[in-house]
Amino acid sequence: MFHKQFKKSLFTLNIINKDFFNGLKLFYVWRVLAWADILQRYKRTVIGPFWGVITTALLLLFIGPVYSKLFGQNLTEYFPYVAVSYVIWNFFSTLVVEGANSLIISTDYIKNMAWPFSVYFYRCVLRNIFVLMHNFIVLVPLLFYFNLVSLQGILLFIVGLGLICTLGFAITIVLGILSLRYRDIPQLVTNLLNMLFFLTPVLWSVNMLGASSWMVQFNPVFHVLEVLRRPLLGGVPEIVSYCVIIISIFVLLSLGFYFFYKTKKELAFWA
Amino acid sequence: MHIIAKNLSLDYPLGSVKKSLLGKIFSGNVGGKIFTDETENTYIRALDSISFEFHPGDRVGIYGNNGSGKTTLLKVLAGIYPLSEGTLEMEGCVSSFLSMNLGMDPDLTGLENIIFRTRLLGMSQKQTETVIDCAANFSELGEYLDLPLRTYSNGMLTRLSFSLVTAFDPEILLMDEWLSVGDESFQEKAQIKLEEIFHSSSISVIVSHNPNMIKRLCNKIFKIEVGQLSIVDE
């Protein structure tokens, strides 16, 4: 009995392992697809992906001064805070929305190529890393200007980015599979994220909540932001934030693999 | 190298579907049998207990009406659809592009589209150059290769995609209606090219609704009807 159970779980692991590991080996495929996705967005423009950079720069240029007045904050503190927060919020929320669409936008390939499904999950995460890197063109000079760059910060940021990308990957698997079957989910996710933008300290900071600041601890996206923005702003994230992220990764990745194992045989038909 | 299928079946899940009275009265003869299981899920039996053996040197042609299961069978062979029942044993390197226009971007030039394809297949610079030469020569598109695809006519587009899919030579070649392409002069060329790659790849499987074409090109001919395969000629 036990032996049978063990054999079955080994078989399950093998299916998951095969798809995700073989997908990883097809690095050249998802790299090409991810980059093509970005070029597609800005097709027939002269400066291409740099439009994304200009959008971010312009927005920050106006939001910074106006909201620092609105909230009665010191501009030298508020400006880098809101710049970093906004870029990271954009990175994460876009990753989640596009994660939900990861398989839907790939239906042509799913129905015509025998690639492992994980290729489309990797493609989604990598595409968003590319966009984040573009936005760093705005952030890096700003951080140097406000003298916030340190070796510790860079190292912590890299660790954080690794964690958040893994989390994003897990979310992509879960939402990607669910959305392929139930096409209402991407709409729902977009709506929830729009709402979360106002509930999460992106434009405002935690200390503005005063005595109620403990409330943000229950917002998981707050921890996502903290893990990435604190290092960039010259601080160290709280241990709580790392714990929340790691637990979320564990739960969501298990859930994602479970969904994948259960639906693998039908994914191609849902596409 | 071989492809061996034993009692291969494929049920295409449709989720829960409400059947109209009209559909029940006029039972058509297009497509596979539609059935509903005990959990109220509806399926199409797209392939029904198919068995065959293909070996090197086989030029397999399968013809059938619309919805008879031709493309579904190719997709099973390509590893895209999982089987519902039976076994499939495949040995050899299978061609990757079932659809001629997959991934083609109308805003990229012909040349850029060729390069995009080769990158998706992980080809080296040298292999890419060979493919470019091959496709450029065969399509006879000349200067148009440097223009975006949206400036092409339909015929020019099929010239490009046909030249591109035939520029690779896999061991096992799967083709879905690649035959009716281009104008008359190109059609002739395409036929010769097809015969050439038919002979160079070990096993070729082609599906079409046109039996004459298949009878001319293939040495193993099947007919597919409502998901059932029957041999016509060997």
Q: Model confidence over B98-154: pLDDT tens digits?
A: 778 888 999 999 999 999 999 988 889 999 999 999 899 999 999 999 999 999 998
Q: Which residues of B touch A264 (CB under 8 A)?
A: 82
Please compute Rg for chain B using Cα positions.
Answer: 19
Contact status, residue B12 vs residue B43, Cβ threshold 8 Å: yes
Please report the pLDDT score of residue B176 as a whole number: 84
- What pLDDT is recorded for position B194? 82
- Nearest residue in chain B measured CA to CA from A44: B107
* pLDDT computed for residue B185 by the predictor: 83
In a domain, A15, yes or no: no
pLDDT band at residue B28 using 50, 70 and 90 as cut-offs: low
Q: What is the pLDDT of residue B155?
A: 86
Q: Which helix (H) or strand (E) holds B206?
A: strand B203-208
What is the pLDDT averaged over residues A214-221?
94
Domain span including residue A115: 34-270
Q: What is the average per-residue pLDDT within B37-62?
A: 88
Q: Say if A48 falls within a structural domain.
A: yes
How far is it, in rounded angstroms, from Cα A99 to Cα A88? 16
- The answer as to whether A154 is a domain residue is yes
Structural domain contains residue A67: yes
Looking at per-residue confidence, does A161 or B179 come out higher? A161
Asked whether the predicted pLDDT for residue B67 surpasses 90, the reply is no
What does the alpha-carbon distance between residue A20 and residue B174 come to, in Å, rounded to a whole number? 26
Dump pLDDT digits (tens) for A171-198: 999 999 999 999 999 999 999 999 999 9
Distance between CA B149 and CA A31 in Å, rounded? 23
Q: What are phi and psi of B2, to 5 degrees?
A: -165, 165
Q: Do A112 and B99 touch (CB under 8 A)?
A: yes
**Average pLDDT estimate for B73-92:** 91
Contact B63, B210 (CB under 8 A): yes
Question: What is the model's pLDDT at position B25?
Answer: 63
Question: Residue A225 domain-assigned?
Answer: yes
Q: Mutation test of the interface with chain A: which of B71, B97, B104, B120, choosing the one with the most A Cβ atoms within 10 A?
A: B120
B91 band by pLDDT with thresholds 50, 70 and 90: confident
Tally of domains within chain A: 1
Question: To the nearest whole number, what is the mean pLDDT of chain B?
Answer: 86
Q: Which residue of A has its CA nearest to B120?
A: A29
**pLDDT tens per residue across span B193-215:** 888 888 888 898 989 888 888 88
* Residue A6 within any structural domain of the chain: no
Residue B80 reports pLDDT greater than 70: yes
Q: What percent of chain B has pLDDT over 90?
A: 36
pLDDT tens for A108-148 read 999 989 899 999 999 999 999 999 999 999 999 999 999 99
Structure confidence at residue B179 (pLDDT): 63
Collect all residues of chain B within an 8 Å Cβ-Cβ radius of residue A268.
75, 80-82
Helix (H) or strand (E) holding B175: strand B172-176
Chain B's closest residue to A111, CA to CA, is: B80
Q: What is the mean pLDDT of residues B28-48?
A: 79
- pLDDT above 70 for B173: yes
Which whole number is the average pLDDT over A67-73?
92
Nearest to B12 by CA among B91, B80, B93, B65: B80
* Residue B35 pLDDT class (50, 70, 90 cuts): confident
pLDDT band at A13 (very low <50, low <70, confident <90, very high): confident
CB atoms within 10 A of CB A225: 23
pLDDT on residue A144: 95
pLDDT: which is higher, A156 or A44? A156
Write the residue in A26, A40, A113 that is nearest to B105 by C-beta. Answer: A40
* Residue A256 is assigned to a structural domain of this protein: yes
Does residue A33 belong to the interface with chain B, where contact is any CB pair within 8 Å? yes
Q: Which residue has the tokens 């229950």?
A: A218
Chain A residues lying within 8 Å of B105, measured CB to CB: 36, 40, 43
Task: From B182, B177, B180, B178, select the one nearest B155 (Cα to Cα).
Answer: B182
Contact B82, B46 (CB under 8 A): no
Does a structural domain hold residue A11? no
Structure tokens given for A152: 């510790």
Question: Cβ contacts of residue B45 below 8 Å, gap of 6+?
Answer: B9, B10, B11, B12, B32, B33, B34, B35, B227
What is the predicted pLDDT for the residue at B72?
Answer: 92
Spell out which residues of chain A touch residue B119, defining contact as CB-CB under 8 Å.
28, 32
Nearest CB among B78, B96, B120 relative to A32 is that of B120
Predicted TM-score of the model (pTM): 0.92
Residue B171, pLDDT above cutoff 90:
no
Share the mean pLDDT of chain A: 93
A-interface mutation test, from B100, B119, B128, B172, most A Cβ less than 10 A away: B119
User: What average pLDDT does this structure show over A235-255?
Assistant: 97
Share of chain A above pLDDT 70, in %: 99
**Helix (H), strand (E) at residue A177:** helix A151-181
Torsion of CA A61, A75, A153, A150, to 10 degrees: 100
Q: What is the pLDDT of residue B86?
A: 94
